[in-house]
Structure formats: C-alpha cells, structure tokens
Structure 1
C-alpha cells in the first residue's frame, strides 16, 4: 500500500478521491464532504447539488437499513463524480426490486428512486456482509 493509499484508507483525501466513514448523526458532515469534493472536481452548482443529493440519500439508506454506519467513497473520473456507499447491514434478500424502482414507494422508499432519477447510473451489490451502492453523476 502506497502513502497516498494509506491516507485515503484513514479518511484523508486525495485531489481526486475521498473516503469518509460515517454513522448516524453525521449527515451534515457527509454532505459537506460531498459538496466540497464535487466543487473541487469542477462541478457546476447544479451538479454539486446532484452529487450532494445522491450522497445524502445513499448515506441515509445505509444508516436506516444498514446498521447505522458505513463508509462513503467519492472519486472523479472521466467527467463523472462517483459516489459509493458501503454498509455492514443484513443486505437485500432480493435485489430485483432495487433495479425497477421507477417511482416513490409509499411514505418511505424514495431514496433509491431519487438516486436513479438524479444519477446517470446506479449499481447495488448486496450480501451477508452488507450492501454497496455506487452512483455516477455526470459533471463538467
């Protein structure tokens, strides 16, 4: 592991990547990190809002459904900001429903719909060790 990798693993940032562990009650800090990162990457104000919304929704889902804590990773690559949120919760029993969210589901259940509406792409991997959601937001 190189020096830059060690810093990122400890929650430090590089110009094109940042990792941030989070737990319940830290949404404000996570939102600040996401907005600051998108701004540094050259996103327009509207694109910063999109990254902020995607990061917020994925983190809230991890806190509510994934054990109350997790890690957010942001990186910039080829005109996109990627937001990946990993948690250690029980995972989804059936991922098929997450692929077909085309409208809000009841009182709750809007998070993935919002992310799918705002992001260019969203992938979700889930198993016994938890869930990882990765979203791509176009910038530039």
Structure 2
C-alpha cells in the first residue's frame, strides 16, 4: 500500500448501512463520480454483506487511494470460499450467489484470497 488511507474500520451486521455511506463519501471525495461511484459502492456493499453473512459475522474494511486508483480491501475470518467457487453470473432464477458477481461487475479489478483462516477481497477502481 503506497497510498493514503481514507477509511479503516471493523464492521458487523449492524453497521453496514453507515459503512456504505462512509465508503460512498470517501470514494466521492477521492474523485469517483456518477456511475463509477455507484458501481464501486455497490461492489463494496456486496463484499461487506458477504463477510457478515458467510465470513464469521464481521470483517475489516480498509479504503485507500494512490495517484490514480482507489482500493478497498475487505477481510473476514470465516471458513473461506470453496476451491471450486466461481464468480460467474448465476442463473436468472437463482435465489442467491450474486454478491461476488455483482462486485466483479462494479469495479475495475477484484482479487480474492481465501483459505481456512478467512477471505480477503481487494477491489480496485480508477479515479
């Protein structure tokens, strides 16, 4: 991380709405606008929601900016993703499984590291 931290925060289910608003303000202050801002905030929201639902009930978010990029890292201590997990678009009638797919659509790059000690997802957007 070479950039300046904009936000570091531990979160749980009760704080997701406030966290989403903080991410939106910070991303907007960093230069994201319009559709890029909306998509990035939705992507971060999907990942933080997944951390609460599937990753142990809580997580840690770090948001920072470098010269031309905005990054968000979300870490949880859940059981990790299955090795065969994919981020393809789920079938239209599926009732779940869209979070990672939505997140991947909402940012320039999404990187997943997952194992028995938890999952770390890094999202990237150009500002």
Using structure 2 for the length normalisation, give the TM-score.
0.88
Q: Which residue of 2 aligns with 1:132?
A: 120
Pair 1:116 & 2:99 matched = no
Q: Give runs of aligned pairs for residues 67-78 of structure 1, distance below 5 A.
A: 67-78=56-67
Q: Is the 8 A contact 2:27 2:37 kept in 1?
A: yes
Report how far residue 92 of structure 1 moved: 1.7
Map Cα deviations across residues 76-125 of structure 1 (whole Å, 9 max, x no partner): 1232211110001111231x433xx2312521110111111121111111
Q: 1:110 to 1:103 in 2, by over 3 A?
A: same
Cα RMSD (Å):
1.7
Structure 2 unaligned blocks of 5 or more: none
Report how far residue 16 of structure 1 moved: 4.2
Aligned residues between the structures: 123
**SS, match of residue 78 in structure 1:** coil
Using structure 1 for the length normalisation, give the TM-score.
0.80
Structure number with higher relative contact order (C-alpha < 8 Å, ≥ 6 residues apart): 2
Larger Rg: 1
